[in-house]
Structure 1
Amino acid sequence: MFARKIVHTLCGVVLLGVFATSAASAMLDTRHATYFTFSRSVQLPGVTLPAGTYVFEVSNAGSGSSLVLVRSRDRSTVHAFKLTNAIYRPASRNLEAAITFGETSAGNPPPVKAWYPESETAGREFIY
């Protein structure tokens, strides 16, 4: 009886490890990551990014998530973790990765309005 409990416990731990590993790998799906280099500062809701290279990625790409993660080029620093709305790419645009900017007053960094991942018709519109 005691041996049966140990076997069941070990099986549960192994299954938990398998599910946790697959969930973590889905959250870090690099197929939906895009690198952008900005020559000057830009804004995201609540944060200003200085000039540099950043990685934009959907937090959990397979789930239809509305969360976008923006990190440093080497992914060591998270600069933003923001809610977004789905937005469809205008039909006249190609399917290259793109960012659109909103309007701003003179002297202020332009706000990133939307991000369109490469080869996808849908993008993510940042909520301001």
Structure 2
Amino acid sequence: MTNHKSGRIAFATALLAMVMAASSHAWSFNHENRFTFSKPVALPGVVLPAGEYSFDVASPTALDVVVVRNSRSGKVLYMGFTNIVQRPKTLSNDTPITFSEAPASEPRPISTWYEIGQSMGHQFLYR
């Protein structure tokens, strides 16, 4: 009976270690940043009304694919490929988003999203 008990304890310990390792890996993958825009902004093929949005990468194997969701509903509003770029040395770490020019009557297009605390960014591809 002691062998069975020891075997169950060893199995439970191994299972717990695997669950902790998996959850630790999943937790470390988080690239999500949340932003609030006071005016409409544009991404390729979509205009986001003023509001709060979540920017994230699609998966650990697709860092060049960005997903933008409405922060409240979680609804995906944009998913697309980006170019991975380095943050320019002249750009402050406090600047997570850069914009392109647009006429005053149109929403400004988001050029690049730089992940908070990271040196890399995601440059959106406009055609």
Normalization by structure 2: what TM-score? Answer: 0.72
Partner of 1:56: 55
- The count of corresponding residues between Structure 1 and Structure 2 is 105
Matched, 1:46 2:24: no
Q: Which residue of 2 aligns with 1:115?
A: 113
Q: CA deviation at 1:91?
A: 1.0
The change in CA–CA distance for 1:111 and 1:76 in structure 2 (over 3 A counts) is same
Preserved CA contact (<8 Å) 2:52 2:72: no
In structure 2, the gaps of 5 or more residues are 1-24
CA contact (8 A) 2:111 2:124 kept: yes
Matches within 5 A, 1:18-97: 31-60=30-59, 62-74=60-72, 76-96=74-94
Larger Cα-atom Rg = 2
For 2:45 and 2:74, locate their aligned partners in 1 and report how far apart those are by CA, in whole Å.
Answer: 20
Provide the C-alpha distance between the structure 2 equivalents of 1:107 and 1:46, rounded to a whole number of angstroms.
17
Does the C-alpha gap of structure 1 residues 66 and 75 become closer, same or farther in structure 2, counting only changes over 3 Å?
Answer: farther
- The gaps in structure 1 that reach 5 residues or longer are 1-25
Shift of 1:37: 0.2
Residue equivalent to 1:124: 122
Give 1:28 deviation, angstroms. Answer: 8.8
- Separation in 2, partners of 1:29, 1:45: 28
- Say which structure is richer in strand: 2
Q: Secondary structure at the match of 2:35?
A: strand
Q: Deviations over 1:50-91 (max 9, x none)?
A: 00000000111x325210000011352110001100111111
Distance 2:28 2:80 in 1: 17
- The CA deviation at 1:96 is 3.9
CA distance in 2, matches of 1:77, 1:28: 21
